[in-house]
Amino acid sequence: MAIDKARKHLKEYKLDDRIIVFDDSSATVKEAAERLNCEEKDIVKTLSFLVGEEPIVICVSGDSRIDNSKYKEEFHTKAKMIPFEDVEKLIGHAVGGVCPFGINDNVKVYLDESLKKLDTMYPAAGSSNSAVRLNLKELESTLKEYKWVNVCK
């Protein structure tokens, strides 16, 4: 299960005890914010794209939207989300649980500047009914390789 991959990844950084599992879905920003009793901006959306044939994920704040012109400027191509049915195979987590923890080795991770406004944030933890409570420094510490980008409106 993908949540087990995320848990194993977070355990390396002694953050697996921060995982929260819900009885109900937290797959959307709205659902996650309701379950966590926080604002939608505090949820981290991990969006899956293809740059050419290469899968990437971009973590953005829950109230942010991709700006197509900024995306094209950064990646030199039009934003192309990975089709729903291919996300799990290409990223390692299914839609609703996509996060930067325990993903496939070839997936590059990007953090959008919109995350810098958050004190506490809640990315998914590999399933459509989970989240993990982190601050920005903790999120960065769990990522072996990542790049900051500014691709949101």
The one-letter code for the residue type at 146 is Y
For residue 81, pLDDT beyond 90: yes
How far, in Å, CA of 126 to CA of 132, rounded? 10
| pLDDT, tens digit (0-9, with 9 covering 90-100), for 116-139 | 999 999 999 999 999 999 999 999
Using DSSP's 3-state secondary structure scheme, residue 83 falls into coil
For residue 66, pLDDT beyond 70: yes
Go through the chain and tell me how many residues it has: 153
| pLDDT, tens digit (0-9, with 9 covering 90-100), for 91-111 | 999 999 999 999 999 999 999
Using DSSP's 3-state secondary structure scheme, residue 17 falls into helix
Domains of the chain with bracketed CATH: 2-149 (3.90.960.10)
Q: What is the pLDDT of residue 48?
A: 98
CB 81 within 8 A of CB 49: yes
How far, in Å, CA of 131 to CA of 83, rounded? 23
Q: What is the pLDDT of residue 64?
A: 97
For residue 1, pLDDT beyond 70: no
Q: What is the pLDDT of residue 105?
A: 94
| pLDDT, tens digit (0-9, with 9 covering 90-100), for 27-64 | 999 999 999 999 999 999 999 999 999 999 999 999 99
How far, in Å, CA of 124 to CA of 79, rounded? 22
For residue 2, pLDDT beyond 90: no
